[in-house]
């Protein structure tokens, strides 16, 4: 089944404790992104990647890091989480160019709480 | 840069009534337009998209949307809603150059269908 998976689905942590949220897709997509969803704000892009070793900042990158060492994986790293990073996080992937019809496929989400 | 305004944060309707969820966008470049649905505690699912061609776009679950370039709008409609349509709906845009890599989302409209 074609899908984007995220782990963990739920995470409660404390301020300053480094964490990684994994994202993996099995569709051989070139593009991958991370978004965060906050009530009343919709979804905002954190980082995106156009291919292996190619990443760039989205609209709200502060406090986050990403890496793209393999095509299928795009982990989100919070080196020193803070309470304002409590949010619902989504990973997404898409095919490059018009053959993918510009559709992004979303993972199930990771609910992160930082106390 | 693009921006999206969803004009209603909450829309309550009765079952079998018609519904329209309004979306306006702003952009200095040509865009692709999308509607996504998020059912409670789930990820985002694509309802429909406008890439080119006919301005009336039909999607899944009986939804349709009309692209109006002069009014920069992309309103979502359904002639008769069901209880199961209760969800949050997001309008999103992507500039041609960012297609597939970045989506700008509206803040969402919560559709509540009651019997």
pLDDT at A63: 97
User: What mean pLDDT value characterizes chain B?
Assistant: 93
Is residue B57 helix, strand or coil?
A: strand
Is B46's CB within 8 Å of A50's CB? no
- Separation between Cα atoms, residue B45 and residue B42, nearest integer Å: 9
- Separation between Cα atoms, residue A82 and residue A85, nearest integer Å: 6
Q: How many CB atoms lie within 10 A of CB A108?
A: 16
* The two structure tokens encoding residue A29: 């997509």
Please state, for a pLDDT cut of 90, what percent of chain B lies above it.
78
Is A99 a residue whose pLDDT tops 70? Answer: no
* The two structure tokens encoding residue A82: 């803070």
Please state, for a pLDDT cut of 90, what percent of chain A lies above it.
85
Stretch B15-28: mean pLDDT: 96
Using the Cβ of B110 and the Cβ atoms of chain A, whether some distance falls under 8 Å is answered with no
pLDDT band at B68 (very low <50, low <70, confident <90, very high): very high
- Separation between Cα atoms, residue A99 and residue B39, nearest integer Å: 28
pLDDT at A67: 96
Chain B nearest C-alpha distance from A85 (Å)? 18
Q: Which residues of B touch A94 (CB under 8 A)?
A: 100-101
């Amino acid at each position: 089944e074609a899908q984007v998976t995220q782990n963990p689905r739920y995470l409660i942590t404390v301020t300053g404790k480094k964490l990684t949220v994994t994202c993996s897709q099995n569709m051989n997509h070139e593009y991958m992104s991370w978004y965060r969803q906050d009530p009343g704000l919709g979804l905002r892009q954190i980082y995106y990647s156009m291919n292996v070793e190619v990443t760039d900042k989205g609209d709200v990158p502060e406090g986050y890091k990403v890496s793209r060492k393999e095509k299928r994986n795009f982990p989100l790293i919070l080196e020193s989480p803070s309470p304002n990073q409590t949010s619902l996080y989504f990973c997404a992937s898409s095919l490059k160019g018009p053959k993918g019809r510009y559709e992004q496929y979303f993972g199930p989400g990771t609910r992160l709480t930082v106390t | 840069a693009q921006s999206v305004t969803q004009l209603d944060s909450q829309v309550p309707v009765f079952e079998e009534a018609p519904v329209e969820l309004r979306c306006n966008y702003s952009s200095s470049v040509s865009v692709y337009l999308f509607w996504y649905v998020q059912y409670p505690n789930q990820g985002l699912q694509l309802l429909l998209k406008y890439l080119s061609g006919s301005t009336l776009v039909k999607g899944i679950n009986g939804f349709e949307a009309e692209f109006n370039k002069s009014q920069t709008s992309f309103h979502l409609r359904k002639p008769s809603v069901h209880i199961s349509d209760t969800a949050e709906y997001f309008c999103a845009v992507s500039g041609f150059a960012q297609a597939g890599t970045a989506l700008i989302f509206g803040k969402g409209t919560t559709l509540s269908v009651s019997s």
